[in-house]
Amino acid sequence: MRGAPNRTGTARGIALVPYTLAIALTRLSSYFLPTLKEPPSDAEAISHVLMVRAGLVRQLGAGMWSFLPAGWRVHRRVEQVIREEMDRIGALESLFPVLQPAELWQRTGRYDIPELFKLKDRSERPLVLALTHEEAITFHISREVRSYRDLPLMLYHFQIKERDEARPRAGILRTREFIMKDAYSFDRDDEGLEHSYQLNIRAYDRIFDRCGLRWYRVESDVGMMGGAGAHEYMAPCAAGENDVALSDAGYAANVEVAKGAPPDPNFPPPLDAPEPVETPNARTIEEVSQLLGVDPAVLIKALPVVGEDGVLRLALVRGDDRLNEIKLRKSLGQDFRPAADDEITAAFGAPPGFIGPVDVDVEVIADSCLERGTYTAGANRAGHHLRGVQPGRDFRATFADIRAVRDGDVCPLGGVIAIEPAIEVGNIFKLGTRYSEPLGARYLDEDGREQTIVMGSYGIGPARIAAAAVEQYADEQGISWPRAIAPFDVHLVALGKSGSAELEYADRLYDSLTGAGAEVLYDDRPISPGEKFVEAELLGCPLRVVAGKRTLELDRLEVQVRRGREPRDIPLEDAAGTLIELLDQLP
């Protein structure tokens, strides 16, 4: 692990302000922790199953989740880690509204985003429920910042986001309402933005280290945020909805933007000119490959698309590759859609499955790996293909990286790529003037000339951090929280009847631990030991401590470190102090 915090928030040897929640009497006999024996029927992700079973969250509707007391404690502890690291780099905490005038979003061109909730007030004024806060904060900056002396500036907030998610899934991982920390930097120029960007990188690295996650920082697409560059923070786990390309040379990128070179196939001998070959009823790559007895890698996959400008173009990738739509969109400089069958027939004189780039009057965009070799391509004639096709000789194209990377590709650093699923837990963007320009955020420089403010945006999802931690460290018994974000530090299990010596000892130990600053969940309920142990392991606090009759007889306290279910026992003398020392050693 890259750095583990102790109970005062120390990470990498740097003293931090202590982060603890207010000490409260947390006896399970009067606490709301509705655990379940069986998983929810619709749950697939481990975090969905365990967070519901452990009584941390409950679903209200599709994509709408409620945090119950123990789950909210986790969320608040994550928030506090984030808050401390943002404060450390000089960011100022603020708060901006979720409900916003639609006019701001119309000015930035984001009003038509399908995920944006839109509504009207009683006076028919159009409003939106914000899914990010660039518009709101830039509006204020445009009215308050006047001089270069007011910059640089960095503001952040924790706020609810609303997103009209088409397919909510995986519990709290993909929802319609969630809380995010957004930070926004405002600088005089690109050099200032780079400084702010690096400050946030260092803060984010510390945040994810302190939260105990395994993570990668990867190159990513700017998406609907816009701007000049972006990185994502990814927590690898099986439930991840994103794929990350990693290599043994240290390369890391979201597959949306990852670059990789596939191994060269065994090309057929070159021909003086393309030769037609009959391929009746063979329309797909697999069918043509089997009919002609050739490797799919020496076939050209032709994908006709129609851009927003209404122009039909032909995208080409190797037969064994997939088109990366994000890369193609960037190459075209506009969005596109697949061409309809009638459009294909009109443009190529042949039905889908038999079209290719030779002798066509359309713009061709070919993947870079097609610049060399001899291929078989559609002949633009029903039931026929052409073999011996050589790019450059037989057709002209604009070559660009438009293929999706695969396992086994060679990365730009020379390593072998492996694709791994991951959860996106944070993202950072170099927005440039994407929002400051349309919203009029400008300042006067030293010479009195008006300049546009340069912006950055930095987001983290506390709930996603919590879910990622569950995914990464859960075992067959339940959750195993990293110390820094666990709902409680210690799960104290009392085994004894009311008025018994062992219960009195458990009461004193509880008081001693809380007095020493530990967050303790005290199970004082009159139920069987087995039920208590099962629920303790399900909830996953870092330490489970059992105080019962044997405790007093043996003068030893039974302790289990939840990660790895490691049993220990400690003497009763100064047990609270020994437990605090043990807690400080846990990840």
* Residue 211 predicted with pLDDT over 50: yes
> Can you give the pLDDT at residue 25?
64
Q: How many residues does the chain have?
A: 587
- Given this model, what pLDDT does residue 4 score? 36
pLDDT at 504: 93
Which percentage of the chain shows pLDDT scores above 90?
Answer: 88
Report the pLDDT value the prediction gives residue 228, as an integer from 0 to 100. Answer: 65
Question: Which are the contacts of 299, defined by CB distance < 8 A and separation ≥ 6?
Answer: 285, 288, 289, 318, 319, 320, 375, 376, 377
Q: What pLDDT, on a 0 to 100 scale, did the predictor assign at position 12? A: 35
Task: Determine the Cα–Cα distance for residues 170 and 577; give it in Å rounded to an integer.
Answer: 40
Residue 239: the pLDDT is 85
229-236 and 99-101 strand pairing: unpaired
488-585: CATH class = alpha beta
Q: Which comes out higher in pLDDT, residue 121 or 222?
A: 121
Summarised one tens digit per residue, pLDDT across range 12-29 is 333 333 444 444 568 999
Structure tokens belonging to residue 50: 């365990």
Separation CA 77–CA 485 (nearest Å): 5
Contacts of 513 (CB under 8 A, 6+ apart): 490, 492, 520, 576, 579, 580
Mean pLDDT, the chain, integer: 92
Average pLDDT, integer, range 306-315: 96
User: What number of other Cβ atoms are within 10 A of residue 567's Cβ?
Assistant: 10
426-473 pLDDT tens trace: 999 999 999 999 999 999 999 999 999 999 999 999 999 999 999 999
Task: Give the mean model confidence (pLDDT) for residues 378-389.
Answer: 96
Query: Model confidence over 219-253: pLDDT tens digits?
Result: 877 655 555 678 999 999 988 888 999 999 999 98
> What's the average model confidence in pLDDT over 557-562?
95
Helix (H) or strand (E) holding 329, with range, is helix 325-332
- Residue 127 has a pLDDT of 98
Mean predicted confidence (pLDDT) in 385-405: 96
Using CA atoms, how far apart are residues 415 and 381, in angstroms rounded to an integer? 42
Contact (Cβ atoms closer than 8 angstroms) between residue 417 and residue 246: yes
CATH 3.30.930.10 in the chain is located at 32-258+419-472
Q: How confident is the model at residue 3 (pLDDT cuts 50, 70, 90)?
A: very low
What are the E-state strand segments in 114-264?
A: 117-120, 126-129, 153-162, 177-187, 216-219, 229-236, 242-247, 252-254
- In sequence order, the 6+-apart residues with CB closer than 8 A to the CB of 318 are 262, 296, 297, 299, 300, 301, 367, 369, 370, 403
Q: Give domain 32-258+419-472's CATH superfamily.
A: Bira Bifunctional Protein; Domain 2 (3.30.930.10)
Letter for the amino acid at 215? W
Q: Does domain 275-400 have CATH number 3.90.960.10?
A: yes
Instruction: State pLDDT tens for residues 40-60.
Output: 988 889 999 999 999 999 999
Question: Is residue 454 within 8 Å of 193, Cβ to Cβ?
Answer: yes
Give the pLDDT score at 1.
Answer: 34
Task: Tell me the pLDDT tens digit for each residue of 242-298.
Answer: 899 999 999 998 998 899 999 999 999 999 999 999 999 899 999 999 999 999 999
Residue ranges of the chain that CATH labels 3.40.50.800 = 488-585
State residue 498's pLDDT score. Answer: 86
* Cβ neighbour number for residue 563 with a 10 Å cutoff: 18
Residue 315 clears pLDDT 80, i.e. is over it: yes
Q: Where in the chain is the domain with CATH 3.90.960.10?
A: 275-400
The pLDDT, as a whole number, for residue 73 is: 97
